[in-house]
Amino acid sequence: MGVVVEHVEAVVIGGGQSGLAAAHALAGQGVAPVVLEASDRAAGSWPRYYDSLTLFSQARFSSLPGLAFGGDPDRYPHRDEVAAYLDRYAAHLDADIRTRRRVTGVTAASDGFRVELEGGARISAGAVVAASGSFGRPHRPGLPGLASFTGQVLHVADYRGPAPFAGRRVVVVGAGNSAVQVAAELAETSRTTLATRAPVRFARRSLLGRDLHFWLTLSGIDTAPLGRVLRTPPTQPVFDPGRYRAALAAGLPDRRPMFTDLDGNKVTWADGSTEAVDSIILATGYRPDLPYLTGLRGALDASGRPRHRAGASLSHPGLAYVGLEWQRSLSSNSLRGCGRDAERAARRLAARLRRGRTPLPH
């Protein structure tokens, strides 16, 4: 007896902020989505981020469409508050959300797509939204000597808090928000260096008494479709409430140019000096986590990045993306911005489902 295939209108892969926003947008277009989330909770990666993480934007700028964040609109919500908000949002949605459903593959079919799940189940869908984010694919750059380093190496995705590093010699690699926040936190209990290729760029968290995101929204910069023309997205500055620039100025942590070599547990710095290091933490970002699309010919490029224009697949008209960094704008992979991209994707997919499916590329 063959495997029974379930037939649905649309599958959304990923139950985090982008997947939930996509489900909301599809439902608003009259499409019944099925959301497939690999973990046991529709809160995305938020429960697994480091303990002290807070949003860079105020609660008033951090809601998905259809449900306000709640509480003091001027506060900067903590990681656990965001996860709880996403739990509420998922419960609020009129959508079939299935947890512990890991997607292992997507293939083209005459009527749309076949979605393969861990364990062998299959779902037939007329449209697919890839909204699985990037947390599952931490970027580990090929730094000189890193493969042979005998100390501890971990990505910031695996960092939770400073306690295990107390009294140790630590190097944090990176110049973004997470790198600076984690390095400053570690420097309170360990000797920590922030290693970067260029000086850290800071942006004030507030200007003229208003949160920076107020001005980004008012000016239109937050929603400008710059992602359509950017070949290499720029590194965003570190949003600073006043603490981090002061911490670096005080040498807690100290900032140095990137090391030139690693040998055993020794680091060689740009000035030629060497010293023993206990731990290296890579705060070097993430890449789109889309292994399930490798069998969908033309969907990804040679490096595994999606081939798309503003979230619309360039190879498969029934496939869309939501939540990619700079997918369309500065805010595309944020709570405040992914909903706009989800609405665009949902309108396009719903129109296609209504008019019938066009032949898929061969």
Q: Is 351 helix (H, G, I), strand (E, B) or coil?
A: helix
Tally the C-alpha atoms within 13 A of residue 192's C-alpha that lie toward its C-beta. Answer: 27
The verdict on whether omega for the bond into residue 253 sits within 30 degrees of 0, i.e. cis, is yes
Assess contact for 356 and 343: CB atoms under 8 A: no
Reported as a single tens digit per residue, the pLDDT across 109-161 is 988 999 999 999 999 999 999 999 999 999 999 999 999 999 999 999 999 99
Alpha carbon separation from 14 to 33, 61, 130, 189, 257 (Å, rounded): 12, 23, 7, 37, 38
Predicted local confidence at residue 245, as pLDDT? 94
Predicted local confidence at residue 275, as pLDDT? 97
Taken as a whole, the chain contains a residue count of: 362
Residues whose CB falls within 8 Å of the CB of residue 85, separated by 6 or more in sequence, listed in order: 69, 70, 77
Nearest alpha-carbon partner for 337 in 324, 351, 353: 324
Mean pLDDT of 170-180: 96
Reported as a single tens digit per residue, the pLDDT across 19-38 is 999 999 999 999 999 999 99
244: pLDDT strictly greater than 70: yes
The pTM (predicted TM-score) of the whole model is 0.91
Q: Is 59 helix (H, G, I), strand (E, B) or coil?
A: helix
Reported as a single tens digit per residue, the pLDDT across 318-328 is 999 999 998 88
Predicted local confidence at residue 361, as pLDDT? 43
278: pLDDT strictly greater than 90: yes
Amino acid of residue 316: H
Assess contact for 28 and 94: CB atoms under 8 A: no
Beta bridge partners of 5: 122
212: pLDDT strictly greater than 80: no
Alpha helix segments (H runs only) across the chain: 17-28, 79-92, 177-186, 212-219, 243-249, 338-355
